[in-house]
Each structure stands twice: as structure tokens, then as C-alpha cells.
């Protein structure tokens, strides 16, 4: 599975757009990029997934350049409730093979 590198922490203010970049230089052809959000004492929650270019849903956007060696999670107009840890996972494991959670990014949204 591809190793990922994310910033350890980020601070933002309410109403701002937040971009979290994940580096995955050894991404394989079949790998997908998936982002999860985790609040304290809760299980991770799926945010968005993509393979290439741009994906947008009601929560976030995911930008993936042509070489796919990095990806950027974009959270528009964050609020205090977006304070959480964000994990980038890269892979396309056969059914049941492990998804590895690397060090996530601790986002703190300030008033």
C-alpha cells in the first residue's frame, strides 16, 4: 500500500477554506485516494474518494493532479464542528486486506 505524508496539524478560522495536502509518491495504477474524518472517541467517517482529477460532494472537494502523486482535500467555509483529525488513505486492496491509517492531520478551527 502506498505510504502517505500529511501535515501533522493545521489551524484555521471559521468561514475560511481549508486545504489539506497528502503526498503519496508511490501510488499504484489501481489505487484510489480516500479521506476520512475522525472526531474524538468516534470511529472514522468517510468524507470523499477519488481516482483522478476532481471530485466534489456536499461536504468537500478532492483535487488530484495528473501524476496522482499527491491529493488535496478542500473543506469550504469551515466551522468549529470541522475540528477533527483527517486521514488520507491510498490503496485498492483486495477485499479484506488492510487499509493503513498513517498519521493524520489535526485540524483546529478557531472562532
Partner 1 sequence: AAGVIQSPRHLIKEKRETATLKCYPIPRHDTVYWYQQGPGQDPQFLISFYEKMQSDKGSIPDRFSAQQFSDYHSELNMSSLELGDSALYFCASTSGQGARKLFFGSGTQLSVL
Task: Give contact residues for partner 1 (rule: CB under 8 A).
Answer: 32, 34, 36, 41-46, 49, 87, 91-104
Nearer to partner 1, 53 or 97 (CB): 97
Q: Smallest distance from the beta carbon of 92 to partner 1, in angstroms?
A: 6
Dihedral angle at the C-alpha atoms of 104, 107, 108, 109, nearest 10 degrees? -160
Nearer to partner 1, 30 or 111 (CB): 30
Q: Smallest distance from the beta carbon of 45 to partner 1, in angstroms?
A: 7
CA-CA distance, 23 to 55, in Å (whole number)? 17
Instruction: Phi first, then psi: give them for residue 82, nearest 5 degrees.
Output: -85, -5
Q: Smallest distance from the beta carbon of 77 to partner 1, in angstroms?
A: 25
Nearer to partner 1, 29 or 111 (CB): 29
CA-CA distance, 111 to 97, in Å (whole number)? 41
Q: Smallest distance from the beta carbon of 76 to partner 1, in angstroms?
A: 22
What is the DSSP pairing of strand 9-13 with strand 105-110? parallel
Grid cell of 52 as nine digits: 483522478
Nearer to partner 1, 16 or 57 (CB): 57
Amino acid at each position: 500500500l502506498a505510504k502517505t505524508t500529511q501535515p501533522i496539524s493545521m489551524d484555521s478560522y471559521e468561514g475560511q477554506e481549508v486545504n489539506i495536502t497528502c503526498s503519496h509518491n508511490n501510488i499504484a495504477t489501481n489505487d484510489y485516494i480516500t479521506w476520512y474524518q475522525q472526531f474524538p472517541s468516534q470511529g472514522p467517517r468517510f468524507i470523499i474518494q477519488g481516482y483522478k482529477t476532481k471530485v466534489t460532494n456536499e461536504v468537500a472537494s478532492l483535487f488530484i493532479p495528473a501524476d496522482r502523486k499527491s491529493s488535496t482535500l478542500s473543506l469550504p467555509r469551515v466551522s468549529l464542528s470541522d475540528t477533527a483529525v483527517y486521514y488520507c488513505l491510498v490503496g485498492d486492496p483486495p477485499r479484506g486486506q488492510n487499509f493503513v491509517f498513517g498519521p493524520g492531520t489535526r485540524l483546529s478551527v478557531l472562532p
